[in-house]
Amino acid sequence: MSNSVQSDPFAVVREKLDQAVTILEEQGLDLWLTFVRETTQVKDPSVDLIVGFDLTWQSALMISRTGERIAIVGRYDVDNVKNIGGYTTVLGYDESIRGPLLEQIQRLRPRQIGLNYSESDPSADGLTHGMFRVLANILGGTEYAVRLVSAAPVVATLRGRKSRTEIERIRAAIDTTEEILQQVRAQVRPGMTERDVADMIHGMVEERGLGTAWEWNFCPIVCAGPEGIFGHRMPGDNRVQEGALLQIDFGVKRDGFVADLQRTMYLCRPGETEPPEEVQKAWAAAKAAMEAGRAALRPGVKGWEVDAVARETLVEAGYPEYKHAFGHHIGRNAHDGATILGPKWERYGTSVEGVVEVGNVFAIELGVYVPGYGYIGCEEDVLVTPEGAEYLSQVQEEIWCIHPS
Amino acid sequence: MSNSVQSDPFAVVREKLDQAVTILEEQGLDLWLTFVRETTQVKDPSVDLIVGFDLTWQSALMISRTGERIAIVGRYDVDNVKNIGGYTTVLGYDESIRGPLLEQIQRLRPRQIGLNYSESDPSADGLTHGMFRVLANILGGTEYAVRLVSAAPVVATLRGRKSRTEIERIRAAIDTTEEILQQVRAQVRPGMTERDVADMIHGMVEERGLGTAWEWNFCPIVCAGPEGIFGHRMPGDNRVQEGALLQIDFGVKRDGFVADLQRTMYLCRPGETEPPEEVQKAWAAAKAAMEAGRAALRPGVKGWEVDAVARETLVEAGYPEYKHAFGHHIGRNAHDGATILGPKWERYGTSVEGVVEVGNVFAIELGVYVPGYGYIGCEEDVLVTPEGAEYLSQVQEEIWCIHPS
């Protein structure tokens, strides 16, 4: 959580509300309803987009294709929501949301009501099953009970189409992340454990008063030496050592937005000036696959098509497939939902069928394990423009060689 | 988010897993299934209880009445879940959870499968509607598709029945919160705005490397002077002033657990030694209602019964009803779900029908607005014992009089 206070904290919320109306029109959905309560406990990710703070009692945020933005919230939240300056109507209630909610829906007469549920996209799946049942009960017996549809396509587009302010903030998070990674490069020494490296990075994050891109104890992920196991795990007791690789997967969260980068280092043995040939060869293959994937990442392609290019390039070079997706949106989260640049595996559902569009910001990543040396990880952040994917990060072209003195 | 690392971070998770088996047996539920993914985006509150960190791909956490604790998680999460030391079986997968999940359910043959959904209890409502659909699809065509029930009673009991470690941590959070509130009492001066007071408190929280009990920008809630509006709102431009009240609603989060307290201060005018009579009278009425509510809070009573006692006491003393519930669980969250000590209003659903039990920790609170002076707020934290509700906080007996020098 970032503790910094913005000059106008709601400018970005108003940008997203404006975008939402445009997207409803593009996709032909009459009404988008975000239905939540006690978001400190279970937060629908869309609340960050269209509210920007927590709501307490049952709350209905309705955006209509015609441009109305209606919030029905508990009485103590009314002033806060008015302060956003982006809602055309803010209604409070004390005992039950049923009356005002029904009244507004009956006034708007939507042909479909889009709700935040999705089998594939976590960021579009913020409606809990209990709240779905509450809503079904409120609408029971009305014609609207059968007009409930998934708003996932709207949510995915809204989340993925970064606004000007959102892109600025992601850039700032990337800059700070790179600065920290360069500091690590200068300070890392053989004998440090993965945990020591993580503690060092946490110190750098705290010094700046920032948070991490994902859960603190798992960010950074640090993989030191040949025994390091790549993955989402807490840094352990493996040691940074000469003649071995050190891979770091890390990002800061700054003003509510994140970066997600990986950097690979090699600790030279005395007399060594560069990594051994087999490490270099694996690095070249990983980079070639990264670049092939990036080149395939353009407006209009589907997620799985981009993944396939990177994956095939790596496999054709004689390395095993990575067991994850090539790319994912970043923004408010390190995994920011919507389209995934991944293979057609069941666990990705339809998220890999999504179409890339201008304004999307992806982290693209892959890696290779080099027996006896450790894990090579490549990850960069890119912005999709009409011309293709443009790097937002300063691309790591070579393995960073550390010369312990 | 607390950044501190525990010596055995999973001891409390293992306590809760043990409790869960006991509760399944008590309530006669064969299998409790927590079904989640990408919990950095949408986190089922039960994940904090039975895992303690975020999970990435679709994950099934199954606890059986017979004592089995089975986790099926993405391959990169396997080692982390094994590290908990509380699961009897940890299975990883790469492409789809369908096979291993069906296999385990078919082996366990549960008569009912409890899921985390509830219309009334947010902390028991962590299953998203999309994930419910995923599960319904996986179980489709099997006899288990019709055996899905709400696990809300299990989740509420598990969450509300605090373990030894949980109570210790809540006590620690209360102690620190009181220490900070005493510091505020010593340092607050007329002319400060609500925002100044909040900034001062934020500084005290940051100095200690802690977080706040609820959203940073809304914690503390500060209500200064007669124009202050009570509620969940960001501290504003109202000023602390002589001859007026200052109310603060605040708690820290420490080692993952929170406190939630309110303290009321009065800034004496030159020559004044205590608050004016009408302020004192309102304070006495508020305190009497608090104490009546606390006395009614014992094992076996229903939530609404406790609220009714406090509410009636206040109204009979000639003051208006507070527009919120008298009490709520605290623990990992300031609103920790389960039974609410509140009136039978629709928005509270069945949560006020819950029964109080030994080991529950509640924040109890109410307030009175005194025209011309401001808001009096009382809030204390209590532990339910076999003998009744015992204060965990050092009860505020008198309004704190501040003598600006």
Closest CA to A117 of A69, A18, A45: A45
Q: Does domain B162-402 have CATH number 3.90.230.10?
A: yes
pLDDT given at position A3: 38
Looking at the complex, report in whole angstroms how far the Cα of residue B244 sits from the nearest Cα belonging to chain A.
22
ipTM exceeds 0.90: no
CA distances from B315 to B155, B282, B286, B288, B318 (A): 34, 11, 10, 11, 5
CA dist., res. B66 & res. B197, Å (int): 53
pLDDT tens digits, one per residue of B248-283: 999 999 999 999 999 999 999 999 999 999 999 999
Predicted confidence (pLDDT) at residue B243 exceeds the cutoff of 80: yes
Q: Does B319 touch chain A (CB under 8 A)?
A: no
Model-level pTM? Answer: 0.86
pLDDT tens digits, one per residue of B125-136: 999 999 999 999
CA dist., res. B31 & res. B115, Å (int): 9
Residue with tokens 């005002």: A100
CA dist., res. B111 & res. B239, Å (int): 61
Mean pLDDT within B291-304? 98
Predicted confidence (pLDDT) at residue B347 exceeds the cutoff of 90: no
How many CA atoms are closer than 13 Å to the CA of A18, on its beta-carbon side?
11
pLDDT tens digits, one per residue of B20-73: 999 999 999 999 999 999 998 899 999 999 999 999 899 999 999 999 999 999
- Locate A330 and state its tokens: 């970043």
Chain B hits for A214, CB-CB cut-off 8 Å, are 40, 54
Q: Does A125 touch chain B (CB under 8 A)?
A: yes
- Find the residue in B nearest to A331 (Cα): B41
Interface contact B333-A216, CB threshold 8 A: no
- Find the residue in A nearest to B343 (Cα): A95
Beta bridge partners of A355: A302
Which one of A49, A123, A129, A219 makes the best mutation probe of the B interface by having the most chain B beta carbons within 10 Å?
A129
Predicted confidence (pLDDT) at residue B4 exceeds the cutoff of 90: no
Predicted confidence (pLDDT) at residue B230 exceeds the cutoff of 60: no
Looking at the complex, report in whole angstroms how far the Cα of residue B371 sits from the nearest Cα belonging to chain A.
19
Residues of chain B with CATH 3.90.230.10: 162-402
SS (H, E, C) A296-351: HCCCCCEHHHHHHHHHHHHHHCCCCCCCCCCEEECCCCCCCCCCEECCCCHHHHHH
Interface contact A40-B75, CB threshold 8 A: no
The one-letter amino acid code at A48 reads D
pLDDT given at position B229: 63
The one-letter amino acid code at A51 reads V
Looking at the complex, report in whole angstroms how far the Cα of residue A168 sits from the nearest Cα belonging to chain B.
22
Chain B hits for A79, CB-CB cut-off 8 Å, are 229, 231, 233
Chain B hits for A211, CB-CB cut-off 8 Å, are 1
Dihedral over Cα of B389, B393, B249, B256: its sign: negative
Query: Residue B23: helix, strand or coil by DSSP?
Result: helix
CA dist., res. A260 & res. A124, Å (int): 21
**Which residue among A5, A53, A231 places its CB closest to the CB of B215?**
A53
* CATH code assigned to A11-159: 3.40.350.10
- Locate B386 and state its tokens: 């076999």
Closest CA to A116 of A377, A273, A338, A348: A338
The one-letter amino acid code at B136 reads A
Report the share of chain B in percent with pLDDT over 70.
97
Q: Which residues contact A322 (CB under 8 A, 6 or more apart)?
A: A311, A314, A366, A367, A368
Q: Does A3 touch chain B (CB under 8 A)?
A: yes
Burial of A127 per CB tally in 10 Å (0-12, 13-18, 19+)? buried
The one-letter amino acid code at A295 reads A
Per-residue confidence at B226, pLDDT binned at 50, 70, 90? confident
pLDDT given at position B3: 37
Chain length of chain B = 405
Per-residue confidence at B7, pLDDT binned at 50, 70, 90? low
What is the pLDDT of chain B when averaged over all its residues?
94
**Which residue among A58, A137, A216 places its CB closest to the CB of B347?**
A58
Calculate ∠ Cα B128-B129-B131, nearest 5°.
65
CA distances from A291 to A305, A366, A390 (A): 14, 11, 11
Q: Does A207 touch chain B (CB under 8 A)?
A: no
Q: Which residue has the higher pLDDT, B401 or A1?
A: B401
pLDDT given at position A4: 41
Buried b (16+ CB within 10 A) or exposed e, B359-370: bbbbbbbbbbbb
Looking at the complex, report in whole angstroms how far the Cα of residue A130 sits from the nearest Cα belonging to chain B.
4
pLDDT given at position B76: 86
**Which residue among B45, B94, B231 places its CB closest to the CB of A42?**
B45
Report the share of chain B in percent with pLDDT over 90.
88
Interface contact B232-A80, CB threshold 8 A: yes
Low-confidence ranges of chain A (pLDDT < 70): 1-7, 228-233
Residue B161 φ/ψ, nearest 5 degrees:
-85, 90
Q: Does B98 touch chain A (CB under 8 A)?
A: yes
The one-letter amino acid code at A369 reads Y
Q: Does A216 touch chain B (CB under 8 A)?
A: yes
Beta bridge partners of A375: A369
| CB A242 within 8 Å of CB B86 | no
Kind of pairing, strands A257-258 and A327-329? unpaired
Kind of pairing, strands B148-150 and B113-115? parallel
Chain B hits for A41, CB-CB cut-off 8 Å, are 45, 122-123, 333, 335, 337
**Between residues 29 and 48 of chain B, which touch chain A (CB distance below 8 Å)?**
37-38, 40-45
Residue with tokens 């640049």: A341
Interface contact B95-A346, CB threshold 8 A: yes
Interface contact A218-B337, CB threshold 8 A: no
- Locate A92 and state its tokens: 């409070």
The one-letter amino acid code at A217 reads N
Interface contact A53-B137, CB threshold 8 A: no
Report the share of chain A in percent with pLDDT over 90.
88
Looking at the complex, report in whole angstroms how far the Cα of residue B126 sits from the nearest Cα belonging to chain A.
6
Closest CA to B350 of B159, B132, B125, B127: B125
Interface contact A96-B347, CB threshold 8 A: yes
**Which residue among B38, B79, B119 places its CB closest to the CB of A130?**
B119
**Which residue among A57, A233, A335 places its CB closest to the CB of B79?**
A233
CA distances from B199 to A2, B216, B219, B220 (A): 15, 11, 10, 9
DSSP element (H, E) containing B265 = strand B261-267
**Which residue among B117, B123, B234 places its CB closest to the CB of A41?**
B123
CA dist., res. B323 & res. A236, Å (int): 50
Mean pLDDT within B320-345? 93
DSSP element (H, E) containing A26 = helix A11-27
**Which residue among B75, B333, B346 places its CB closest to the CB of A41?**
B333
- Find the residue in A nearest to B77 (Cα): A232
Q: Does B391 touch chain A (CB under 8 A)?
A: no
Which one of B129, B324, B375 makes the best mutation probe of the A interface by having the most chain A beta carbons within 10 Å?
B129
| CB A224 within 8 Å of CB A194 | yes
CA dist., res. A307 & res. A345, Å (int): 12
Interface contact A129-B132, CB threshold 8 A: yes
Mean pLDDT within B381-389? 97
Which one of B75, B219, B324, B347 makes the best mutation probe of the A interface by having the most chain A beta carbons within 10 Å?
B347
A-B contacts at Cβ under 8 angstroms: 189
Chain A hits for B41, CB-CB cut-off 8 Å, are 45, 122-123, 333, 335, 337
**Which residue among A126, A137, A231 places its CB closest to the CB of B128?**
A126
pLDDT tens digits, one per residue of A129-153: 999 999 999 999 999 999 999 999 9
CA dist., res. A71 & res. A266, Å (int): 54
